[in-house]
C-alpha cells in the first residue's frame, strides 16, 4: 500500500493522490481561463470583418494584430498542459504533467492579462482616442495587478505559516 503523507495542507494523501487532486484543480482553472479567452478571441476575430475596420489607421491595425497574436498565444499556453497530458498519458508522469500544467496556467494568465488590457485600450483608442486608451489601459492594469498579484501574494504571505486563511467574513 502506498505511503500516506501529509501534504502540508492538512490532507492525508499519497503523492499520487495529491498529483491527481492538483491536476483536477488545474483543469478547472483551465476551463475558466479558456472560456474567457475564447470570448475575447471571438470578439477580436469578428472585428476584422466589420465595415468600420477599414477606417483603422496603420497603428490601430498593428495594435489589433498584436492582440490577435496574444489571443492565439493565450490559447496555446492554456491548451499546452492538455497536450502534455495526452502525450504522457499512462506513462506515470503525473508529477511532470502537474508541473507543466502550472507553468502553462501562469503563462496563459500572463498573456490573458496583456490581452484584457490591450482589448480595452484598443476599444478606447478606436472610440475616443489615444489619451483615453492610455488611461483606461493603465487603470485596468492597476486593477489587474492589485487583484491578480498583490492580493494573492498578500494572502500568501499572511498564510505562510501553513494554516488556513482566517474567516473574516462580515457577519450581519
Using CA atoms, how far apart are residues 40 and 45, in angstroms rounded to an integer? 9
pTM: 0.77
Using CA atoms, how far apart are residues 84 and 102, in angstroms rounded to an integer? 12
Give the cell for residue 68: 490577435
Other CB atoms within 10 Å distance of the CB of residue 167: 6
Say what the pLDDT of residue 15 is: 83
Other CB atoms within 10 Å distance of the CB of residue 118: 22
Say what the pLDDT of residue 170 is: 47
Encode burial over 58-80: b for 16+ CB neighbours within 10 A, e otherwise.
eebeebbeebeebbebbbebbeb
Taking only the tens place, the pLDDT of each residue in 98-144 is 888 888 889 999 999 999 999 999 999 999 999 999 999 999 999 99
Q: Mention every residue, 6+ apart, whose C-beta is less than 8 A from residue 76.
A: none
Taking only the tens place, the pLDDT of each residue in 28-82 is 888 888 888 888 888 898 988 999 889 999 999 999 999 999 999 998 988 888 8
Q: Specify the range with the lowest mean pLDDT, choosing from 7-11, 56-60, 153-157.
A: 7-11
Amino acid at each position: 500500500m502506498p505511503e500516506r503523507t501529509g501534504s502540508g495542507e492538512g490532507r492525508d494523501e499519497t503523492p499520487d493522490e495529491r498529483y491527481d487532486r492538483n491536476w483536477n484543480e488545474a483543469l478547472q482553472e483551465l476551463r475558466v481561463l479558456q472560456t474567457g479567452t475564447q470570448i475575447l478571441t471571438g470578439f477580436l476575430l469578428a472585428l476584422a470583418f466589420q465595415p468600420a475596420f477599414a477606417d483603422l489607421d496603420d497603428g490601430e491595425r498593428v495594435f489589433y494584430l498584436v492582440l490577435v497574436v496574444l489571443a492565439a498565444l493565450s490559447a496555446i499556453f492554456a491548451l499546452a498542459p492538455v497536450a502534455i497530458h495526452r502525450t504522457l498519458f499512462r506513462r506515470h508522469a503525473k508529477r511532470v504533467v502537474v508541473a507543466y500544467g502550472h507553468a502553462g496556467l501562469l503563462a496563459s494568465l500572463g498573456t490573458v492579462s496583456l490581452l484584457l488590457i490591450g482589448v480595452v485600450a484598443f476599444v478606447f483608442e478606436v472610440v475616443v482616442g489615444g489619451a483615453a486608451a492610455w488611461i483606461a489601459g493603465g487603470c485596468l492594469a492597476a486593477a489587474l495587478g492589485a487583484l491578480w498579484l498583490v492580493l494573492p501574494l498578500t494572502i500568501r504571505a499572511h498564510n505562510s505559516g501553513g494554516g488556513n486563511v482566517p474567516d473574516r467574513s462580515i457577519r450581519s
